[in-house]
Structure 1
Amino acid sequence: MAAASAGAGTVVLVDAALAPYEHPDLRWLVRQHVLAVLEEYPTLSPSVDTYTSESGASAVLLNARGLLAVPSAPPPVLLTLWLPRKYPYAAPIVYAFPAAPSSASLARDHPFVDHRTGRVRRTLPYLEDWSVPRSSLTGLVRSLAEVLRVCHVLTTASCGFVNGATARSATPAEEERRRMHTILVDELAATLGRDTADFRGRVDQDVHAMSSLQATLRARAGAVDRAVRDLEDERTRLERAVTASLAHRGQLISWLRSAKWPPSDAAAALAPRAAAGDAPRWVESKASELAVDDTMDALGHALANGELSFQEYIRHVKILARQQFFHCYAASTSTIKRKSIL
């Protein structure tokens, strides 16, 4: 019931704060204790802060802090409940301070509250008899409110507790002022409780919206990371392909330089055509040479687009280079013949 009435942001905060606690199997019980006390006392709010003990050791602990309106005792108390790491087997650490330190201070001889630090002593019956699963935060706050109703911690004129002695009998006018003061404080506490509950609801909505936005941003970050990894893989693949192409280009240039052109049978076949030296044959040879250039360009584009493997590209280039050489040789021979005739 407490979890259902509490906001999603409060539940997320409590669950995140309980992650480092020593009894993971009892986190559900701790969550139930915290949500129950927040539901019964809406002026309390959960938070995560660093607690420093009297020995100087510090730890990040879950706590609930807020005003506690004591029945029949006008001055409210600023209450703080710290949950130690061994909770629920270890009792909470409780502090009580005046809500307005400038107008009130802690009683020096209070039996249950240390006036120097504001810590509630372990002599408080509920803390002294703390046990699991009987004890809870809600029961502790109820017990503390009952104790403060009988014996308030503040040394103000309206407390009726000064130096452990009973104050003098109040006049009817003072009793009326005290009654009106109590009514006003109760109304103020109720208003603060409603405002706190409303503010907590809005904060829970904001936390829930931020959590949803965080999940969306994490998903987008994952997509961006995957895209970056894919681009890195593609860049590596292209670098390897360029390196391999440069190596094959060097091999192809070395092969072309070491090849012997033209072969003897090709020269014998081209000799009659070169001797003729007529213009149509020169044009035909030159056109064939340019056509081979266009074909090589088309093969180069096909290789770049991945439509042709490098082995197929080299095989076709070898054949076309041989044909182009023959056409180029025939065209140059025809040109020389024409010049000799002219």
Structure 2
Amino acid sequence: MSTIKFIDDALFCATPFALSYTDPDQKWIIRQHLNSLFRDFASLEPSIGIFTHNDGSEVKLLNANGELTVSRQAPPVPLTIWVHEFYPQMAPIVYVNLENCMYPVYENHPFVDYSGAIISSYLSNWNLTKCNLSDLVHNLIKLFSHNHPFYYTGSSNFTHQSIVSKMEAMDRLVCMIYYDMAANSAKTQEEIQNLWGIQGELEKRKEDIRVLIGGLGEERRRLKRRTEELSEECDELLNWLRVYERGSVFAIDDAFEALDEESESVLERLAADLGLEDLIYALDKAVEEGALTFEVYMKHIRVLAREQFLCRAKMAKIERARDFL
């Protein structure tokens, strides 16, 4: 079956399997544009299929699919061009066929999104009186010649600036702006990540400072309580000094009060023991300096040692009595 007959049978079919094109004038325009497309690009073939729009609605449309050669160095680009149900008022829908593709696809291509849909200035500025399918494919060839959608080893084929069309210049401008935006976006994302890191560090420092301030507050309250306690003790000491001020006549032993007679006896024995210890030390120094003969020193030491022994024995007896109680 020839290409023209296939298109005529598909467009003018009156069975329940008819396509979604309803206007007779529209069908003749589609026939004319498709015939021109297949005459200019023999690698493309007509086909019929169900197209699902983004809103979920399904329509039965004509499409042209095949491999588009953009240059001798670059691999061909598999395309599917869907003729919209409101063509030519609406632009065709073009996809790069990503299934069974031999080459990896650029992740952030300026004209091909992740699903393979093509977005170009020609399609965005579609004009039913000036635009057609054949010119669209010519534009795609120029577009992909210097911005191929696939990773491959080869050089880009740039057209000299003096002979580029307005549409191609616009596509190149869009491409440059896209890559600039991608670079700036990556840099901005890096800066945002760095700022997030700084914010996290500041939050950590904020928490550390909050804990430190809480600790300092607790320390301040503790010191305040201690200051109040010391102030009370100072007042007690001042009151004591007012009672026993200089010039008053009182026994020094009255400054220390024991809890009971037993405690007072321990206190007296302890004072006597310390006094005897000091006296023995003084005798030792006197012998060293030659102020006292050894015979006299030994005589006094025997007496003092006996008294000290008795004093300590008395204190030990009191301690044993306390332990027994």
TM range (shorter): 0.3 to 0.5
**Is the radius of gyration larger for structure 1 or structure 2?**
2
Q: 1 or 2 for the larger relative contact order (CA 8 Å, sep ≥6)?
A: 1
TM value normalised by structure 2: 0.43
TM value normalised by structure 1: 0.41
